[in-house]
Amino acid sequence: MTQAHEKTSAGGVVVRRDGIAEVCLIRPAGRRVWGLPKGGVEAGETLAQTAVREVAEETGLAGVVEDALGTIDYSFYSREEGSRIHKTVHYYLMHATGGDTADHDHEVSEARWVRIRDALHLMTYPNEREMVRRAAESLGETVD
């Protein structure tokens, strides 16, 4: 039995509020899923720094970290690496401070602002929906 390789990523639940709270979701290039921006930790980065960088790259938005929301763990098979990967993703609640969702990188087909309640229906992965629920709770938003 092959041992899974461990990978660590960080990402953000980026929010803005102009009367109604919204979260920025991404659709990765070539995929039909909607989720949260995240990516691998680079040398010398803290998890929070990774989250800020990845959010900027994948959404085009600048943001500041407000709070840690928790972690998600999952495993998958990587054809590229020819092995199982066990991934831990650390998520942070972030407030958008600027930028434009049109400025996302090539890894993303679309980045868009969505009302939190609508985001929970649009998002593909239940564990990421839980991070958005935690963010909404932290903001005092009712989602159910």
Cα 140 from Cα 72, distance rounded (Å):
22
Residue 126 lies inside a defined structural domain of this protein: yes
Residue 55 inside a domain? The answer is yes
| Cβ atoms 94, 12 nearer than 8 A | yes
Is residue 144 situated within a structural domain?
Answer: no
Q: Residue 22: which CATH number?
A: 3.90.79.10
pLDDT digits (tens, 9 = 90+) for 49-95: 999 999 999 999 999 999 999 999 998 888 887 889 899 999 999 99
Nearest to 113 by CA among 4, 44, 37: 37
> What predicted TM-score, i.e. pTM, was given to this entire model?
0.92
Q: Give the pLDDT of residue 1.
A: 47
In-domain check, residue 104:
yes
Please give the pLDDT value at position 125: 94
**pLDDT, position 121:** 95
Q: How confident is the model at residue 144, as a pLDDT?
A: 65
Indicate if the pLDDT at residue 2 is higher than 70: no
Q: What whole-number percentage of the chain has pLDDT above 70?
A: 97
Those residues whose C-beta lies under 8 Å from the C-beta of residue 139, and which sit 6 or more positions away, are 15, 17, 21, 93
* Whole-number Å distance between alpha carbons of 121 and 46: 31
In this predicted structure, the answer to whether residue 120 has a pLDDT above a threshold of 60 is: yes
Domain that holds residue 133: 5-139
* pLDDT score for 39: 96
Sign of the four-CA dihedral 56, 87, 123, 67: negative
pLDDT at 16 over 90: yes
- The total number of structural domains that make up the chain: 1
108 within some domain: yes
Q: What is the pLDDT of residue 116?
A: 95
